[in-house]
Amino acid sequence: MDKSKYEGEKMIYWKDENLLIRTILPADARIICDEETAQGWEQTIDKYLARIRDFNSGKCVSLVAEYKGAVAGYINVYPNSAWGSFGGMGYSEIVDFGVLEKYRCNGIGTKLMDVAEKIAAEYSDTVYLGVGLHGGYGSAQRMYIKRGYMPDGRGVWYGDGVAASYQEYRNDDDLNLYLSKKLGQQTSPHKENDMRDCGFTEGNNWFRYRAGAIIIEDGCVLFAGNEREDYLYSIGGGVRMGETAEEAVLREVFEETGVRYEIERLAVIHENFFRAGSGTLKGLNCHEISFFFLMKPRGTQELCSSSYTNGVKEEMHWIPIKELDRYRAFPCFLKEYLSGEHSGIEHIVTDQRES
């Protein structure tokens, strides 16, 4: 059962033979506090009473998981949160997520996150959270990455602000890394195919459905490159199963540049045929269909890139549009395209196969 309904004074968000996820009750604060104290955590009841007050005043949705009738975990969703790296941007934040140690490895954390993200999606298209860096958060760190969360690119936070470079900080619960996720993408770790790109290799033939970004700042267009390839390539990548092209380009831009760009419009639908003569695709007959989106300028070329492709570090390159012909950069149509003015969607076919 995955539809919410009321049972007495609580709302039920999930229920099966072992697991129940419901809204928090006043008695839960003491139960959770006592259980966490018993497992060796320094805990007070005040934090949970504060969550109950916020829930009762409509500031958040506070949930508790019961496993075989016993309180086993909790999670809180704050719509339009004002805290942390994404505070004030209209996004939902997941706060205070935990599963009691004796109930772990029963799928409780995964289901709590599923429900929390579903609630967050009712208020915003992006959800974010902070995760601690010490070993007590190890399982949470792994879960968030598997679910598709990405670092904000601003570094580590301590308390209410970004930690200054080369300064010393205590590795306690106030030392956090903020992560965010674009909602609407199916990224459950139990669905392996959800993380796969739309493409295939069959014999000597290679096909991919791709979303690309045209990012222009101060007369320069952004390309990526790496030490394994002898050319530059546009920002973007394969569209995943279940994604729209718009979702894919926003995800890829953030993954590669470390900053968030907005889409201005769909600019080009590109059908590309080529036989790769070098790099990881060498010797393959390649067919790629790409949706290229023109992104809104941010007014700066500053990036926070820490991107890798196939295990190799990527470097970002701002290339002056007027000098594009001096570089081996793909797609090759960009030089001519960026030299003119365009308002609609253009369909471009490039065929570089050997005759």
- CATH number for the domain spanning 243: value is 3.90.79.10
Shared domain check, 230 and 153: no
| Helical (H) or strand (E) element with 158 | strand 157-158
170/158 Cα distance (integer angstroms)? 9
Write down how long the chain is.
355
Domain boundary among 161, 189, 217: 189
Domain boundary among 138, 156, 189: 189
Shared domain check, 125 and 29: yes
List CB contacts of 164: < 8 A, sequence separation 6 or more.
none
Task: Count Cβ neighbours within 10 Å for each residue of 19-53 and write b for 16 or more, e otherwise.
Answer: bbbbbbbeebbebbbebbeeeeeebeeeebeebbe
Mean pLDDT (whole number) for 217-221 = 96
250/291 Cα distance (integer angstroms)? 12
Domain holding 252, by residue range, is: 196-352
Domain boundary among 189, 210, 229: 189
Mean pLDDT (whole number) for 209-220 = 97
Band of the pLDDT at 314, cuts 50, 70, 90?
confident
Rg (CA), the chain: 24
Q: Is the model's pLDDT at 299 over the cut of 80?
A: yes
Shared domain check, 340 and 202: yes
Q: Exposed, middle or buried: residue 164 (CB in 10 Å: 0-12, 13-18, 19+)?
A: exposed
Band of the pLDDT at 194, cuts 50, 70, 90?
very low
Residues 235-290 have pLDDT tens digits of 999 998 888 999 999 988 988 887 889 999 999 999 999 887 766 677 889 999 99
Average pLDDT, the chain: 88
Q: Is the model's pLDDT at 333 over the cut of 50?
A: yes
Q: How many domains does the chain have?
A: 2
Mean pLDDT (whole number) for 167-176 = 94
Distance from chain centroid for Cα 45: 33
- Under DSSP, the state recorded for 230 is S
Question: Comparing C-alpha atoms, which of 354, 352, 321, 351 is closest to residue 337?
Answer: 321
Q: Supply the pLDDT for residue 212.
A: 97
Lowest mean pLDDT among 114-128, 259-273, 306-320: 306-320
Q: Supply the pLDDT for residue 50.
A: 93
Residues 79-108 have pLDDT tens digits of 989 889 888 888 999 999 999 999 988 999
Shared domain check, 151 and 34: yes
Q: How many DSSP H helices and E strands does the chain contain?
A: 6, 22
Band of the pLDDT at 8, cuts 50, 70, 90?
very low
322/229 Cα distance (integer angstroms)? 23
The residue that leads in pLDDT, 138 or 280, is 138
Tokens of 145: 């990455």
Mean pLDDT (whole number) for 47-64 = 92
91/87 Cα distance (integer angstroms)? 7
Q: What percent of the chain has pLDDT over 70?
A: 90
Shared domain check, 289 and 347: yes
Q: Supply the pLDDT for residue 229.
A: 83
Shared domain check, 144 and 256: no
Q: Could you give the 3-state DSSP secondary structure of residue 213?
A: strand
Shared domain check, 303 and 251: yes
Q: Is the model's pLDDT at 42 over the cut of 50?
A: yes
Q: Supply the pLDDT for residue 95.
A: 95
Q: Is the model's pLDDT at 347 over the cut of 70?
A: yes
Shared domain check, 215 and 105: no
235/222 Cα distance (integer angstroms)? 7
Shared domain check, 204 and 263: yes
Apex 251 CA angle, 248 and 254, nearest 5? 145
Shared domain check, 267 and 165: no
* CATH code (residue 54): 3.40.630.30
Q: Is the model's pLDDT at 207 over the cut of 90?
A: yes
Helix, strand, coil percentages, rounded to 5, for the chain: 25, 40, 40
Shared domain check, 67 and 17: yes
Tokens of 16: 């099966």
The residue that leads in pLDDT, 43 or 141, is 141
Q: Supply the pLDDT for residue 2.
A: 43
Shared domain check, 115 and 30: yes
